[in-house]
Structure 1
Amino acid sequence: MKENCKAWRFYYIKKHELDEAIKNWENLIRTFRQNLIQGKYQPILDDVELSSHLPWFISVAMFIVPLGSEEQNHILLIEKLINILFENEYKYKSHFSDQDSDKELHHEIKREIEECFIEHIVFLRNKNFHPYKSLLIEACQKAPAFMYSVKVSFEAEMERKNEPQSIWLLWNMLAPDVKKLAQTEMNVRYSGIETDSVLLLKDMLYSGRKWQGHIDESRYISGGANAILQFAEETASNSYVFEGLASLIHYFPTLFFNKGISILANYFDKNSSIISKRLNTAYYLEMSIQHYLQVENLGSLPKEMFNSCMILLNGVIETGSARAYYLREHLIRSRKIEV
C-alpha cells in the first residue's frame, strides 16, 4: 500500500539513521519473502487499485504466476491487472493533470504487463487460450492498441516456432469482434481509441506490412486466405478493409485476385467514393488489374471478371490515373468475354 511504504521515508533520513533504516528494511523484505514462500498471504484482489498500490510495483505480482496455472487466484490476479491496464489505456489521455500522475500507468509498466501476458498466451495456444480467451476478445473493443501489440508479438513468436496454424487460431477468435469495429467509418485525425481501432482493423488484413515476395510469406498467408476473404466480404464497406483487401490482391494475386476483385467491385458499386478515401487503394487496384490482364490472363475473360475489372478501373480513372485509363481501353478493345 502507498501509505505504508517505508521506502518513501529513506529520502529524508541521513547518516546512521539511514543505515539503521536500511537494515530494518532488509529484515522486513526477508520476513516478507519467508511468509510468501510459506503461503501466509492470501490475496485480496478487490483491493488492488492504482489509488492504493504503487504503479511501479503493481506488475510484479504477475511475474510470479506460473505459465498455465489453473489456480483461481492466479487467473483472477492476471485478469485484474489486465483490466486495470484496459481502464487506464484512455482514461487520462485528455484533461491530464499532475493529480493524475499516480493513477496513470507508465509505459514501461504497461510493457512489462503486456510482455508477461503474451508469454501466458503463447503457452496457452494449444488450450484455445483458456482461461484468457474472453479477455482477448474484450480487448478488441476496450483496448485495441493493446490487442494489436499482443497479436503482432504472438504472430512473431509463432513464425519463429513455425506454427502458422496458431496464428490463424487467434485470428479467427478475434475476427467476430473486430468486425464490429468495421461497422463504422472511422476518423483517425486524432489520437485515441478510434485511431487504435483502425490500427487493429488494418492489421487483421495485414495492411501496411512490408511484404518481400518471399515464398514463405505466401505459405504463411495462405492458411487464412479464405477467412480473410470472408471477413472482407462482410466488412469491405469500410474503406480501411477495402484498401486492405486491395493490398492483399496486389501482393498475393494467386490467393486473392479471383474472389477479391469481385468483392471490391460489389462494394464500389454501392459507394463510388470508397476508392478515393484511402491513399493507396487506387494504386493497388490498377497494379493488380494490370498484372492480371497483361501477365496472368492474356485470353478471353469470364463475364463477371470482365465486369469487375471494368467497374474498378472506372473508379480508379476518377482519381486521375492514366494507367487505369489505358487498361480500360485495352480491356474494351482487346478482350473477349467468354460465352
Structure 2
Amino acid sequence: MSESRTFGSQLLSGLRRLPIDTSLLAPLLALLILLVVSSLASEFFLNTRNISNVLRQVSYTGIIAIGMTFVIIAGGIDLSVGSMLALVGVVLMYIVNAIADPVQAVIMGMLGAVLVGALFGLFNGILVTKGRIAAFVVTLASMSIFRSLALYFTDAGEITTRNPLFNNIGGGFFLGLPIPVWTFLAMAIVAHILLMHTAYGRHVCAVGSNAQVARYSGIRVQRVIMSTFVIAGVCVGVSAIMLASRLNSVSPSDAGYFYELDAIAAVVIGGTALAGGRGSIWGTVIGALILGIINNMLNLMGVSPYLQGLMKGAVILAAVLLQYRRNT
C-alpha cells in the first residue's frame, strides 16, 4: 500500500513538472469522455455536417467566452454580453445597409461592430471602476439597457440586408471549416498569448487574486479592470459579425439570448475560478466545446428544448462544486 502511494505521489509530482497546464486535464478528460459517449449514443453525431454545425454554433458563444475569461480572472463578471450582441448586431446591419458599395459596406460594418462593442465594454468598465459599482449590478443594468435599445431602434422587428458579400463572412468556409470556427481559433491563440505570455496577462491575474496587493505593487488596477471589459466588448463585436452575417439578419428580441449563461458556463467548466485570479483560455475553449456537444446530443436524442437549460445549470453547478472541493 505504501509503495502504491509513493508511486502515486511521484506520478503527480512528475505531471506537475511537465510543460503542460495540468488544470486542463479534468475538462479535457470530460470532453474526451463526452465525445465517446456521444458517438455511441447517436449514429449521426460523427456525421461531418453535424460536427461542422456544432463547431460553428460553439464559435459564437466561444468567442464571447474568450472575453469573459479576462473579465472573470480579473474578479469581475459581465451579464450584458448577450444583449450587447443584439445591439451591436443592429448597429452593424444599419451600417451595412447605409453604404451603397458592397465591399465598403462590409468593411465599415465590421469595423463599426468591433468599435461599438469596445465602447459598450468601456461603458461597463467605467461604471465599475470610476463609479465603484459592483460588476454584477452594472452589467445587470446594462443588459436591460442594451436589449431595450436594440428593440427600440428596430421597433422590435427583424432587420435584414441584401448585401451580396456579407453572408460570405459568417456563412463561408475555409479548408472545409466554417470561417467563424477559424476566427474562434485565431482569437483563442491571440488571447492565450496575451494572458499567459505578457505582462498584461500577469497583471490581470494579480488584480483578480488580490486587487489591493496588486495596487501596492504598482499595477494600475482600475485600468486593468476597465480593459478586460473592453476586451469582452470587442469579442462581442466579432461574434455579432459572425452571427449576423451567417443569418443575413438580426432579430433584436432573441439575438444573443442566454449567451451570457453559455459564456460564463464555458469559462467555469474550463477551470477558471469564479473568484478570479487564475484561468485558462484553452480551458474556456474546451468548456465551450463541452457545452456545444451537450446541446447537440440533447437535440439528436429528442430531449425537450425546455430541459436544455436544466442540463446547463447542472453542468455549471457541478463545475463550481469541483472547483470548491479542489480549493478546500
When normalised by structure 2's length, the TM-score is 0.23
When normalised by structure 1's length, the TM-score is 0.22
Structure ranking higher on relative contact order (CA contacts 8 Å, 6+ apart): 2
Mark the structure with the bigger radius of gyration: 1
